[in-house]
């Protein structure tokens, strides 16, 4: 592949500098630690997504912070899935003569993939929903806006690491990369600048956050259809950004493996939207599966039970809560 130096192109007058550090030392009670800013970005994204998902689930009638019960399964499996997907799509980096087999599990050295995180996280969320009684598709819809915003936050980690940038360019928003960085392509002039694909995805994902919120309110998208739009939105953008990235990647039928993964995400989103729309034309009766409904905060009983009985109701009239429960769609 042949690259042109930005300095050799007319009109180069400004660019985005990359941070000078990607980690910093931290001493805790005499224990020397290295804090990676990339990890902080990922953690910040997880926290933001959890808070947003909790707010959306609670508005639907779920128990406050039940999202934590689900996240305990989803987050670890998402990390495992992200690592497995990365190793599987970059086999030459881990499997060769003399390779250290333990490098496969050394995730702190870098190497995770969002599509693997989606697969592993979905499995973990399904397990967590089974334990908590939350409908899986209700959780997926509640999570979708926070998820795409978390991905936007996480991309700042790539900026600090000076990695996963695009083709050389001299546009005003071009990204500067330290020539001593291992990711800097050999043979290019030190002043070469590149497309800031991290910034493109930050903008696209942040815009997607507001689009998902608006669509969810405007059309009351439930039963997994809002999550389906998330897959289509994120996948469509990733196809573009992945196509201009120049970091090493396995190529299959002329396309990078992550481009194929993004295409599959778009197709899967379309299928989910159509199938769920036909299976469930109405609204979800509850965020819980039948028989697992949350009854809300427990009422503290007084000395006399009569204080909590509505004596004005006819004896044959069923309480409203029972009626609502009996009409839950199976």
**Cβ-based burial of 152 (10 A; exposed 0-12, middle 13-18, buried ≥19):** buried
Q: How far is CA 84 from the centre of its chain?
A: 16
Average pLDDT over all residues of the chain: 87
pLDDT of 12 strictly over 80: no
pLDDT of 329 strictly over 80: no
End-to-end CA distance of the chain: 57
DSSP annotation of 174 reads P
Give the pLDDT confidence score for residue 297 in this predicted structure.
60
pLDDT of 27 strictly over 50: yes
The rounded radius of gyration (Å) of the Cα atoms in the chain is 24
pLDDT in tens, 81-115: 999 999 998 888 898 888 888 888 888 777 889 99
Tokens (6 digits) for 69: 């019960």
Tell me the mean pLDDT in the region 302-326: 40
- Of 62-76, 200-214, 231-245, 295-309, the range with the lowest mean pLDDT is 295-309
pLDDT over 90 percentage in the chain:
74
pLDDT in tens, 242-295: 999 999 888 899 999 999 999 999 999 999 999 999 999 999 999 999 989 887
CA–CA dist 142, 213 (Å, integer):
10
CA–CA dist 236, 234 (Å, integer):
6
CB 298: neighbour CB atoms within 10 A?
6
Positive/negative CA dihedral, 205, 75, 82, 270: negative
DSSP annotation of 288 reads B
3-state class of 194 per DSSP?
strand
Give the pLDDT confidence score for residue 183 in this predicted structure.
92
pLDDT of 148 strictly over 80: yes
Q: Using the structure block, give the residue that is written with the tokens 């379309």.
A: 270
DSSP annotation of 92 reads G
The H-assigned helical ranges of the chain are 37-60, 66-89, 114-132, 136-154, 156-161, 197-219, 225-244, 257-279, 320-326
* 95-116 core/surface letters (b: 16 or more CB in 10 A; e: else): eeeeeeeeebeeeeeebbbbbb
Q: How confident is the model at residue 157 (pLDDT cuts 50, 70, 90)?
A: very high
Give kind and range of the element (H or E) at residue 235: helix 225-244
CA–CA dist 159, 41 (Å, integer):
10
Q: How far is CA 45 from the centre of its chain?
A: 8
Bridge partners (DSSP) listed for residue 193: 176
Cβ–Cβ < 8 Å for 172, 13: yes
pLDDT of 120 strictly over 60: yes
Positive/negative CA dihedral, 295, 297, 298, 304: negative
Tokens (6 digits) for 284: 């979800």
């Amino acid at each position: 592949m042949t690259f042109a130096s930005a300095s050799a192109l007319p009109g180069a007058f400004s660019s985005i500098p990359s941070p000078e550090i990607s980690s910093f030392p931290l001493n805790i009670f005499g224990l020397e630690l290295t804090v990676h800013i990339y990890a902080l970005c990922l953690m910040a994204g997880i926290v933001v997504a959890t808070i947003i998902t909790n707010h959306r689930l609670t508005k639907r009638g779920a128990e406050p912070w039940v999202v934590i019960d689900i996240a305990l399964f989803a987050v670890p499996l998402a990390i495992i899935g992200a690592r497995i997907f990365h190793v599987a799509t970059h086999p030459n980096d881990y499997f060769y003569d003399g390779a250290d087999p333990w490098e496969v599990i050394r995730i702190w050295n870098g190497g995770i993939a969002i599509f693997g995180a989606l697969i592993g996280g979905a499995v973990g969320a399904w397990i967590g929903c089974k334990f908590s009684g939350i409908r899986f598709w209700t959780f997926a819809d509640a999570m979708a806006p926070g998820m795409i915003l978390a991905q936007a936050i996480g991309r700042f980690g790539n900026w600090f690491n000076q990695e996963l940038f695009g083709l050389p360019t001299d546009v005003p928003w071009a990204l500067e990369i330290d020539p001593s960085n291992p990711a800097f392509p050999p043979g290019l002039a030190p002043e070469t600048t590149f497309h800031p694909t991290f910034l493109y995805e930050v903008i696209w994902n942040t815009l997607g956050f507001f689009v998902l919120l608006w669509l969810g309110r405007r059309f009351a998208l439930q039963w997994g259809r809002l999550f389906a739009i998330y897959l289509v939105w994120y996948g469509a953008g990733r196809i573009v950004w992945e196509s201009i990235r120049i970091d090493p990647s396995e190529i299959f039928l002329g396309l990078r493996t992550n481009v194929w993964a993004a295409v599959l995400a778009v197709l899967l989103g379309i299928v989910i939207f159509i199938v769920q729309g036909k299976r469930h034309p109405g609204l979800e009766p509850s965020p819980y599966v039948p028989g697992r409904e949350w009854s809300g905060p427990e009422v503290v009983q007084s000395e006399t039970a009569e204080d909590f009985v509505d004596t004005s109701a006819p004896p044959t009239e069923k309480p409203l809560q029972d009626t609502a429960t009996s009409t839950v769609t199976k």
